[in-house]
């Protein structure tokens, strides 16, 4: 083992001493150079200062890296397993169910990858040769564990939804889709009104900057309307499929008996009952009413709108910005405010 590895603190002190001596030499050398007409010693002193700074930095880094490692900070890998023998895993002609299964498999893939990486990082952290390497591996270990837990929870929640849909209980899904359908239609009406208003302003606009901003707003509204119309088509198609799907035919094709489906359905009811009991025992976990949630979201959006308005006022009053920079920033903020206004309109 080298002197550097055994005594990083002393190595750091030597570097600091070299830097100080070199700096002192550089301060007194101009007089010497004036008498001799050479600057060789000044250059040598500069090199000594540089070597001293580098040595001090390396010594300090090694000293930090040589700290004692607390291996108790390494978390254990939790046991998380997903069931893989459900009846719905077989391929079906149920488009909505297949979409849910594809989303479920994405969560499963993320969960397995993150968990595998966490196991590797935990083993690597246990064998870390220094404090810096240990901290880096511990950080990424915790990140992967959090990702694995989040993906596992998402997969578990989606698994319960898939079970319900497969058992024929699609009332909640249909209700949610119908709510989204109404929201899309409301946003389309709002965007059309904004587009028409912008078109009227455009016909009266005189400045090029204003015309450019209004044209962007009109195009933005058109794109939003087109995207929402496609969402509406997709939602109506899904609602129609859920209301008309032949579950008996599906069970016959998969070889699943109605009795098995009844048992799976009853199992979901038991899960729901246990959840209700837990919520009763823990009143502090009481869910907020839809009106409370709406008011919270509305207040949040209004606060966000005020922040952008203040930012816009600051841009307008900023004399250090050029005219082009001001217009670019103002156009960007106007688009953000327009988006927030649409969202506020939905919560009104």
- Whats the size of the chain, residue-wise? 348
9 pLDDT tier (thresholds 50, 70, 90):
low
What does the pLDDT look like over 207-255, one tens digit per residue?
Answer: 888 888 888 989 999 999 999 999 999 999 988 988 888 777 777 766 6
With CA atoms as reference, report the closest residue to 92 among 245, 310, 278, 243.
245
What does the pLDDT look like over 15-29, one tens digit per residue?
Answer: 566 666 666 655 655
Are 343 and 314 in contact by the 8 Å Cβ rule? The answer is no
3 pLDDT tier (thresholds 50, 70, 90):
very low
Question: Does pLDDT of 312 surpass 60?
Answer: yes
Report field, pTM of the whole predicted structure over 0.75: no
Question: Does pLDDT of 97 surpass 60?
Answer: yes
CA distances from 234 to 180, 238, 241, 270, 333 (A): 11, 6, 11, 33, 32
What does the pLDDT look like over 324-343, one tens digit per residue?
Answer: 777 777 777 777 777 787 77
Residue 14: alpha-carbon gap to chain centroid: 46
**According to the model, what pLDDT value does residue 232 have?**
92
């Amino acid at each position: 083992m080298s002197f550097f590895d055994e005594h990083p603190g002393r190595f750091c002190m030597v570097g600091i001493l070299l830097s100080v001596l070199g700096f002192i030499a550089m301060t007194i050398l101009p007089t010497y150079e004036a008498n001799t007409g050479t600057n060789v010693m000044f250059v040598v002193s500069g090199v000594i200062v540089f070597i001293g700074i580098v040595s001090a930095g390396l010594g300090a880094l090694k000293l930090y890296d040589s700290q004692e490692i607390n291996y108790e900070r390494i978390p254990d890998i939790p046991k998380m397993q997903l069931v893989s023998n459900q009846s719905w895993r077989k391929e079906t002609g149920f488009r909505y169910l297949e979409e849910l299964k594809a989303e479920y498999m994405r969560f499963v893939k993320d969960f397995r990858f993150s968990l595998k990486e966490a196991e590797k990082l935990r083993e690597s952290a246990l064998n870390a040769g220094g404090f810096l390497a240990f901290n880096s591996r511990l950080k990424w270990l915790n990140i992967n564990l959090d990702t694995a837990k989040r993906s596992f929870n998402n997969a578990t929640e989606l698994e319960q939804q898939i079970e319900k849909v497969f058992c024929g209980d699609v009332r909640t899904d249909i209700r949610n889709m119908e709510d989204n359908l109404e929201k899309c239609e409301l946003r389309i009406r709002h965007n059309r009104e904004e587009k028409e208003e912008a078109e009227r302003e455009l016909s009266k606009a005189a400045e090029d900057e204003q015309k450019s901003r209004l044209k962007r707003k009109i195009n933005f509204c058109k794109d939003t309307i087109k995207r929402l119309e496609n969402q509406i088509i997709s939602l109506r198609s899904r609602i129609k499929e859920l209301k008309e799907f032949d579950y008996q035919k599906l069970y016959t094709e998969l070889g699943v008996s109605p009795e098995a489906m009844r048992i799976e359905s009853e199992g979901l009811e038991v899960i729901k009952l246990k959840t209700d009991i837990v919520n009763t025992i823990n009143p502090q976990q009481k869910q907020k009413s839809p009106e409370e949630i709406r008011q919270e979201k509305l207040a949040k959006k209004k606060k966000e709108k005020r922040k952008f308005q203040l930012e816009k006022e600051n841009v307008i009053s900023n004399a250090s910005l050029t005219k082009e920079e001001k217009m670019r920033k103002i156009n960007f903020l106007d688009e953000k405010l327009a988006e927030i206004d649409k969202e506020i309109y939905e919560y009104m």
